[in-house]
Amino acid sequence: MTAQRVAIVSGGSRGIGKAVATTLGARGFAVVVGYAAQQASADEVVASITAHGGRALAVRADVAEEKDVVQLFDTAELEFGGVDVVVNAAGRMYLAPVAELDLEELDAMHRTNIRGTFVMAREAARRVRPGGTIVNFSTSQVVLQFPTYAAYAASKGAVEAMTLSLARDLRGRDVTANAVAPGATATDMFLDGKSEELVERLAKQPPLERLGQPEDIAEVVAFLASPAGHWVNGQVVRANGGMA
């Protein structure tokens, strides 16, 4: 009997991370839903997965804290027997022109997006089983370069560089590492503070003329996490409807 594959999804309580967790759960993965503060939302994701016959649990973890991340992986191994897929969907976004940038916001964003991804990736590199994968999250703003996105895009550019080196660090392990770079996606984080007019204008920019949905991105992650996607390694997949 083939052992059940196990996925850890940081930022799994909302937005794209929630969609990833539920999609992987539906594909037969046991899922550890990592969350920082949204316990009720994380519990809802777990309930959704288990209601459909899956296995899941929620674990609180600050991805930038080494001890939290170690506990996250320890729990996955104790409860489900190992780790096959790690999805680093936890993220923070702060938008401002460079001249008006709040450096405390910059530090907080980089702590989650850069340090948090690195801490998660480091633990994943130590523990993911052969045949597994690590998926980090970038943003298509690294190449689109819209105004006010400088600091956020810079943090995600670091994630892309980290991911490409990580794939090569894992030589001989049969573990892949890729980054997914969404474009405009209809999540609370993206929609917050934007007018309906601005959202409509952004939705018209891709050739497909709509915003991405969290499920669109989750399907890309599910492919990378599957045996069918295992030959994709050391890549940045720009899932943005054709914007760049």
- Give the pLDDT of residue 142: 92
Indicate left, alpha or beta for 242 from its phi (over 0: left) and psi (-120 to 50: alpha).
left
Residue 1: inside a domain: no
pTM of the full structure: 0.94
In the chain, how many domains are there?
1
- Give the pLDDT of residue 1: 54
Supply the CATH number for residue 152's domain. Answer: 3.40.50.720
Angle between helix 117-127 and 66-80 (nearest 10): 40
- The range of the structural domain enclosing residue 16 comes to 6-237
- Give the pLDDT of residue 198: 81
- Give the pLDDT of residue 156: 97
- Give the pLDDT of residue 185: 87
Residue 133: inside a domain: yes
pLDDT digit string (tens) for 24-58?
Answer: 999 999 999 999 998 999 999 999 999 999 999 99
152 is catalytic: yes
Three-state SS sequence of 90-139: CCCCCCCCHHHCCHHHHHHHHHHHHHHHHHHHHHHHHHCCCCCEEEEECC
Which one is catalytic: 35, 94, 149, 152? 152
Q: Do the Cβ atoms of 11 and 113 come closer than 8 Å?
A: no
Per-10-residue mean pLDDT of the chain, 244 residues long, equals: 88 95 97 95 96 96 98 98 97 94 96 98 98 96 92 96 98 98 84 79 85 93 97 96 84
Residue 242: inside a domain: no
- Give the pLDDT of residue 184: 85
Number of neighbouring beta carbons within 10 Å of residue 125: 16
